[in-house]
Amino acid sequence: MCFPRKMLSMLPMLLMVLKGNVNAVALFEATERNCSLSPPYLPSTAVNSSRQLQELREHMLASDVAAYVVPSTDAHMSEYIGARDARMAFMTGFTGSAGTAVVTPGKAALWTDSRYWVQAERQMDCNWELQKDVSISSIAEWLTSEVPNGGRIGFDPFLFSLKTQEDYAMSLESSNRSLKSMPGNLVDRVWKDRPAISPDSLIRLPDRIIQRSWQMKVEQIRNQMKENPYQPTALLLSALDETAWLFNMRGDDIPYNPFFYSYTLLTMDEIWLFLHTERLTEELRAHLNASCGGPLCVQLKSYDAILDHLKAHVSSRSGVKVWIGTEYTNYALYEVIKPQDKLLSSSYSPVLITKAVKDETEQRILRDAHVRDAVAVMQLLMWLEKSAPTGKETELSASAYVNHCRSKQKDSRGPSFETISASGPNAALAHYSPTVESNRKLTADEMYLVDSGGQYLDGTTDITRTVHWGTPTALQKEAYTRVLMGNIEISRTIFPSGTRGVNMEMLGRKALWEVGLNYGHGTGHGIGNYFGVHEWPVGFQSYNIPFREGMFTSIEPGYYKDDDFGIRIEDIAVVLPAHTKYGHNYLTFDTVSLVPYDRKLIDVSLLSPVQLQWLNKYYESIRRLMSAELERQGLHEEKKWMLRHTEPFVESGSSSRGRSSSPALLALAVAALCNVALETCTLY
């Protein structure tokens, strides 16, 4: 046990915690700030925000605004943001993914949700108050009390969605405080060492994984514009994956997401692409037909030129109508499309809707990526099966291991999100990823959940498996089996084309509900070909678009017992036609993730005959597809492991029979134990 740093400075805190219910760790150093002490107690993780606050306030004064709002998003409403967009973190010290900071001349406040309250108390100094009701009406209420009557509240319209602006405007409506849209961001003026744009060249996807050239996609989108009854003359693309998809290009501006900062403005006879043009190689300029002037030539513009260009485009011509997707267009671009009859809006642009349905090649290569990805996940599970019970491995080492295994696979481009590697009670926390502080040893006494994914040139993966290396409790086994039943019930369901995911997602919960269990998150999200791990128009949430053939979605029910364990089973599935006795145009799912579930956790007696049949059929697919791949990669031990774990289950009331019916299986298990290779994935 080592002695803490900064022992003297935290003496008041030590005394305080001694009075309460504290555990051994808390005694050594309070990890959260205490602003009610004099002087305030600040942990070593807190960031001094005085300079940036002072400078921001000077700029606010010069701009005559009594408050300034600093959101945590970027100009493209991205799910993940690049380092140069982390303005909220720069101002506050708080690095969580969601929040809003507001500064007045005398006060500063941060709003974030319950996931991040502890983190905010660790990272912020006492310049900042923490607000816990994250509704915009709560922020507006605070603003009304802090900003004098008649005062103006400044915001960067590039960082507000239409909805955000509308919500603020509505909440402040009768308050006599007005919103002031200020396109030049004030934080950026203060942020001296703001990270620069990546100098890396952008890439184009190789022809071998492309079915539609960007010219074909442009034609496809233009046809949709022509067919639209509201007769748009232009289409503005704001989400980063829209431009990346349209031009078959990728970049590295956003962690885990192969995107590059960009906008596209498309008309029937022109294409303007706004990006950091210095990052285009000659080959890419040729790819984009950047030197000609016809309807299939791309006119390159500077990223920062979008606002002026759009303004000029809208005002210079009569009869202009610009189509935008409101979910991803920022308020700065929206507010220059005036008057209203120059605007056509839908929740999602036609590019996002079109992109959601994968063409034949995209389906094939996304399946291919899942075959290779399954190799890496099997290597992790096989290794854990041997290593975890030794007590030498941790959440972090397991996370590193699976990342390493993925990196060895063809066309790997790193993880698609930060791996959730969670043992025991950690797995019951939403959004948990291990840190040095939280890192937990893996043991045969705890369940372990690993939710991870890879980026490959041909596809993005996302899979969760939950395992137990010792003896699960009855509840763990029942909950796991019912989560699996949920996964199976969604996967095998047959539904009319155009059914919404939200109307089917209860199938993922039904088996849990029957015994009074449930889970508190969504049941799945879209995914695609080397994009962000969440392709939002697709999935099981209320705002998702209806399912059509060729869409890919995750299916991920779970169950979480606070302070004890967490279960999630996540697979990716593609929507395919179902052949029914009487009907046409019916669909079903086909699972493309190819990793077996933990047999030890399945109580076969709970499964219905059709569920068991589905499971055995799925295992047949794994055996067929993965045998070939594992052999191709020369991974014989992995193949044996896979075959052992995908033995067919026997239909019976007895759950134990399924586990140990085959003497051959036992023999294989013994053989496997005698053949340990500690890091088989590195052999490839």
Give yes or no for residue 577 binding a second copy (CB under 8 A).
no
Give yes or no for residue 510 binding a second copy (CB under 8 A).
yes
Which of 111-119, 262-270, 295-303, 507-515 is the region at the interface with a second copy (rule: CB under 8 A)? 507-515
Distance CA 677, CA 683 (A): 9
Give yes or no for residue 515 binding a second copy (CB under 8 A).
yes
Taking the complex as a whole, the smallest distance from the CB of residue 526 to a second copy amounts, in Å, to 20
Among residues 38, 316, 581, 663, the one that binds a second copy under rule CB under 8 A: 581
Among residues 111, 155, 448, 495, the one that binds a second copy under rule CB under 8 A: 495
Taking the complex as a whole, the smallest distance from the CB of residue 515 to a second copy amounts, in Å, to 4
Give yes or no for residue 169 binding a second copy (CB under 8 A).
no
Q: Which amino acid is at 100?
A: T
Give yes or no for residue 603 binding a second copy (CB under 8 A).
no
Of the pair 330, 588, the CB lying nearest a second copy is at: 588
Of the pair 428, 504, the CB lying nearest a second copy is at: 504
Residue 655: how many other CB atoms lie within 10 Å = 18
Whether residue 37 contacts residue 126, with contact meaning beta carbons closer than 8 Å, is answered with no
Among residues 26, 98, 429, 502, the one that binds a second copy under rule CB under 8 A: 502
Distance CA 131, CA 303 (A): 35
Q: The tokens 């799912």 sit on which residue?
A: 589
Taking the complex as a whole, the smallest distance from the CB of residue 544 to a second copy amounts, in Å, to 13
Distance CA 582, CA 4 (A): 72
Half-sphere CA count of 76, side-chain side, radius 13 A: 27
Give yes or no for residue 134 binding a second copy (CB under 8 A).
no
Burial-class residue 318 by CB neighbours within 10 Å (0-12, 13-18, 19+). Answer: exposed
Among residues 23, 145, 316, 582, the one that binds a second copy under rule CB under 8 A: 582
Burial-class residue 290 by CB neighbours within 10 Å (0-12, 13-18, 19+). Answer: middle
Beta bridge pairs of residue 578: 586
Question: What token pair was written down for 115?
Answer: 């996931």
Site for a second copy in 605-644 (CB under 8 A): 608
Among residues 26, 300, 506, 668, the one that binds a second copy under rule CB under 8 A: 506
Number of chain positions touching a second copy (CB under 8 A): 31
Among residues 28, 117, 586, 684, the one that binds a second copy under rule CB under 8 A: 586
**Helix, strand, or coil here: 680?**
helix
What DSSP letter does each residue of 312-327 carry, written as one string?
Answer: HHHHHSSS--EEEETT
Which of 215-223, 487-495, 568-576, 657-665 is the region at the interface with a second copy (rule: CB under 8 A)? 487-495
Give yes or no for residue 513 binding a second copy (CB under 8 A).
yes
Which of 218-226, 344-352, 497-505, 615-623 is the region at the interface with a second copy (rule: CB under 8 A)? 497-505
Gyration radius from the chain CA atoms: 27
Binding to a second copy by CB under 8 A, coded x per residue (else -) over 327-346, reads: ------------xxx-----
Q: Could you tell me how far CA 559 lies from the centroid of its own chain?
A: 20
Give yes or no for residue 195 binding a second copy (CB under 8 A).
no
Give yes or no for residue 518 binding a second copy (CB under 8 A).
yes
What DSSP letter does each residue of 91-153 carry, written as one string?
Answer: HHS---SS-EEEE-SS-EEEE--GGGHHHHHHHB-TT-EEE---SHHHHHHHHHHHSPTT-EE
Taking the complex as a whole, the smallest distance from the CB of residue 131 to a second copy amounts, in Å, to 17
User: Which residues of the shown chain bind a second copy in the complex (CB under 8 A)?
Assistant: 173-174, 339-341, 475, 493-496, 499, 502-507, 510, 513-518, 580-584, 586, 608
